[in-house]
Amino acid sequence: MPMLIVQTIVKQWDKSQQSKQYQQQRMSLPDRYLVHIPPAERMLDNQVLLDQHGDDIEGKRIQYLVHEQVDFIIDRFRISLPNKTLEYKTAQSDPRLISQLGDGWVQCRYNWRRRVEQGGFIYWLYEDVTLNACFVEQYDAQVFMTTKAETVFTDLTLPEL
């Protein structure tokens, strides 16, 4: 049975970390990692392997759930386990197909900012989120390292069809 491997990488910063130096530090961080078990977590009877990296200032930043044992929903993405499709949903639209997850792997990236209230202060928390995903027949720790992504999705808004 194929296994879905999902890897998330979150880079977070506030306004005080927007200088060229901080930007270069963030840009020098990888956009894919080896998938080690643990810390990667198996779920749904080994149908899904979730590997999370990066910043999480508030804790539990990347939320996920399994819908009716067929859809793995993580952050803004929905992956159909039986159909092997990856969809993206904006706040204003229905889910849109990004890719059929065939032989290769897909990388999705977006930037965002969120209002945070912490310690009596309110500020913007900026983020760069990367999601790598693929289906494999057997676990391979180097699945994202040995080849380039088949598809790289970076358009947050998605054009109308």
Q: What is the pLDDT of residues 24-45, one digit of tens each?
A: 887 888 899 999 998 888 988 8
Average pLDDT, integer, range 106-124? 85
Cβ contacts of 138 within 8 Å, gap of 6 or more: 3
Task: Find where tokens 């999902």 sit.
Answer: 6
Amino acid type, 13: W
Name residue 8's beta-bridge partners.
52, 131
Query: Quick one: three-class SS letters along 95-108?
Result: CEEEEECCCCCEEE
Phi-psi region of 158 (alpha: psi -120 to 50; beta: other; left: phi over 0): left
Instruction: Select from 2, 109, 103 the least CA-distant residue to 48.
Output: 2
For residues 56 and 10, is the Cβ–Cβ distance under 8 A? yes
CA gap 1, 46 in Å, rounded: 9
CA gap 137, 107 in Å, rounded: 19
The model's pTM: 0.85
Provide the mean pLDDT of the chain. Answer: 84
What percent of the chain has a predicted confidence (pLDDT) above 90? 25
Dihedrals φ, ψ of 62, to 5°?
-90, 110
Average pLDDT, integer, range 125-149? 91
